[in-house]
A and B are shown apart, each in its own frame.
Chain A
Amino acid sequence: MAIPLISDLLERFFGPAEDPHSRDDVKRRLKIVLAHDRLALDPQTLEMMRQEIIAVVSRYVEVDFDALEFSLATDQRVTALTANLPIRRIRPLGRGADQPISPDSEAKKIELASQSEILAMDAEEAEAALRRFEAKNNAEGSSDGQDPIHAPLDIDRSGLDEETQDDNAALSEDDVAAMNSEAETSTETGESGSEVPDMSAPDSSVSMKSSGNTNSESA
């Protein structure tokens, strides 16, 4: 018999010192994944449902967006959707609903806007450059009474808007993924550019990740 190591001896005597709770872990994971499997609802639909529920509830009460929870649980082969929406306060009469934080639609808004937005930004940048150029000219050369404010470039956006709507109709998962990365780049462009309205949504990006987890688990 080979001489066993001390740790070997200890293990043989006291039993293996492995993670004692893996049984609970696996039960928890299994229950979640089964709840999703059994419902057979695709993650997009689930997300849509989530957003609509928040929207409806937000009409009446102010929801704590940071603390809300949606989960699927299953018992006796019956699946239940549980929504936990902590309420900050009842909405004062006459005040409209807050925009519910909806990471997906937020992301889509960014993506969908990106094409036309980029063009618009290009135009704005071009405009700004033109102004700078003119200002420089005016300062250097003798100002001969030229109007310092250049007429804005005339850009027809209507066509662009239609195009983005078509994109929307033909969204496939790959498109969404591709556009997500696109959205990131356009957000960056937006920071260097001047007038992109509030595209950073730090909170929503967190919940986006959690919904992504759900996707991969139920896929």
Chain B
Amino acid sequence: MSRIIVMTSGKGGVGKTTCTANLGMALAKAGQRVAVVDADFGLRNLDLLLGLENRIVYTALDVLAGECRLDQALVKDKRQPNLALLPAAQNRSKESIKPEQMKRLIKALTKVYNFILIDSPAGIEMGFRNSIAAAREAIIVTTPEISAVRDADRVIGLLEANDIKAVRLVINRLRPAMVAAEQMMSVKDVQGILSIPLLGVIPDDEQVIVSTNKGEPLVLEEKLSKAGIAFTNVSQRLQGEKVPLMDLSIPQDSFFTRLKRLFGM
């Protein structure tokens, strides 16, 4: 049976799309057949993060309108043939599609793909309801900031109310140095407060932006960055492997590293 997983957060800009692109790619790399679905109608971005924006011909709306077949709308990744993107319409609003229609699309995808990742828009309105309509699992993406955690909590409640029981947490953009300085909530703080199982922690990493610029998910790099390793770990845990949490703690500054920093070296 296919796994249908919605990536959601409540708050915008916390890394849902980044996570969807990287997890999708990592799962495909591991041999899974993966469809990533952009449910952010009107503000699509998943195509950009995957570098597939120039290959979109049809969107999910065209499929629903009967203007093309589902396989015509799917954009297959050339680097990783196990991965396909179902694009959202960019020139339409989130109200242009209904939960029932979303279910029909996803149902059709389950015939071919064994992982379906749905990139949810921010908010808890129509777009959110569409994105959770067909989902059986959810990954809550949050940053260790009060507003993001609050919104995540709200969304967790809504998922429970909608009978989505397998809800797991990814904490994104953690800055270990700030946690060490008691200026940011720790992984334990956030996970303890939200009280759902932890799937992974992604450090704040400049490489994320570099990879977005290139349209190439981090997990495709030859030498993985810290965030790239963290995303790969999350994908392995999703497949049931036991992977210990990455050690993100910063090494205690030695006298010499401080001296080096002092002189800007």
Contacts and interface: CB of A to CB of B under 8 A. Distances in A.
Interface of A: 1, 4, 9, 12-13, 15-16, 18-24, 26-27, 29-31, 33-34, 37-38, 76-77
B182 A15 contact: no
B153 A13 contact: no
A23 B183 contact: yes
Interface of A is mostly: helix
Given A31-B193, A38-B157, A12 B261 contact: yes
Given A20-B181, A23-B185, A34-B153, A12 B262 contact: yes
Given A15-B181, A23-B185, A34 B193 contact: yes
Nearest to B156: A77
Given A34-B153, A76-B195, A26 B146 contact: yes
B258 A77 contact: no
Nearest to A1: B264
A34 B184 contact: no
A4 B264 CA distance: 10
Nearest to B180: A15
Interface string B180-200: 011111100100010100000
B150 A22 contact: no
Interface in B140-192: 146, 149-150, 153-154, 156-157, 179, 181-186, 189
Contacts of B179: 23
Interface in B227-265: 258, 261-262, 264
Contact of A9 (B181, B183, B262): B262
A104 B183 CA distance: 38
Nearest to A30: B146
A205 B149 CA distance: 33
A158 B181 CA distance: 67
A27 B193 contact: yes
Interface residues of B, number: 21
15 contacts: A4-B264, A12-B262, A13-B258, A22-B182, A23-B184, A26-B185, A27-B185, A27-B189, A30-B185, A33-B146, A34-B150, A37-B150, A37-B154, A37-B157, A38-B153
Interface of B: 146, 149-150, 153-154, 156-157, 179, 181-186, 189, 193, 195, 258, 261-262, 264
B182 A23 contact: yes
Contacts of B182: 20-24
Given A26-B185, A30-B149, A33-B150, 20 more contacts: A12-B258, A12-B261, A15-B181, A18-B181, A18-B183, A20-B183, A22-B182, A23-B189, A27-B189, A27-B193, A29-B146, A30-B146, A30-B150, A31-B193, A33-B146, A34-B153, A34-B193, A38-B153, A38-B157, A77-B156
A29 B195 CA distance: 17
B195 A16 contact: no
Contacts of A23: 179, 182-186, 189
A69 B215 CA distance: 55
A30 B156 CA distance: 15
A19 B258 CA distance: 21
Contacts of B261: 12-13
Contacts of A13: 258, 261-262
A26 B178 CA distance: 13
B153 A37 contact: yes
Contacts of B264: 1, 4
Contacts of A37: 150, 153-154, 157
A22 to B, nearest CB: 5
Nearest to B253: A15
A215 to B, nearest CB: 16
A15 B252 CA distance: 12
A76 B189 CA distance: 12
Nearest to A4: B264
